[in-house]
Structure 1
């Protein structure tokens, strides 16, 4: 299953993705994003985290305004487009 990096404050998103069987990594710094297929961030400190598409092979999803369910669907859509 895909490795998904999720910002620390998004605990509901971490739980939802784990329930779907994803390997979830808590993002504490930019190094945690390496090797992730997709990352979910709050959008507040997007650039401070240093997470860019050049660091990871997948997408960065901004969680602002989205429910955990919507984020899970967004992750699934992004991962399908890379397969």
Structure 2
């Protein structure tokens, strides 16, 4: 089971990932989020890729199903 951080206010993404068996925590972008296997954010700002100490998936332009699929693909890449 992966520890995933999901940016507020995307509770629907949190619920979808929890349904897949992941441990999901909500966070605000201005918080210092760390210690997660993966993060899900609204969009990745150019130049701010070092904002987190874990890989992130951007939800920009994706459905919830696409986000869940992308998260699972990334986790598989990293062997989580």
Whether contact under 8 Å (1:30, 1:51) holds in the other structure is no
CA distance in structure 2 between the partners assigned to 1:9 and 1:68 by the alignment: 13
- Tell me the TM-score normalised to structure 2 length: 0.82
Secondary structure of the residue aligned to 2:51 is coil
Q: Which residue number corresponds to residue 30 of structure 1? A: 31
**Count of residue pairs brought into register by the alignment:** 76
- Tell me the TM-score normalised to structure 1 length: 0.79
- After the TM superposition, which segments of 4 or more aligned residues of structure 1 sit over 6 Å from their partners? none
- RMSD (Å) for aligned C-alpha atoms: 1.9
Segments of 5+ residues of structure 1 without an aligned counterpart are: none
Segments of 5+ residues of structure 2 without an aligned counterpart are: none
* Equivalent runs, 1:62-81 vs 2, <5 Å: 62-81=58-77
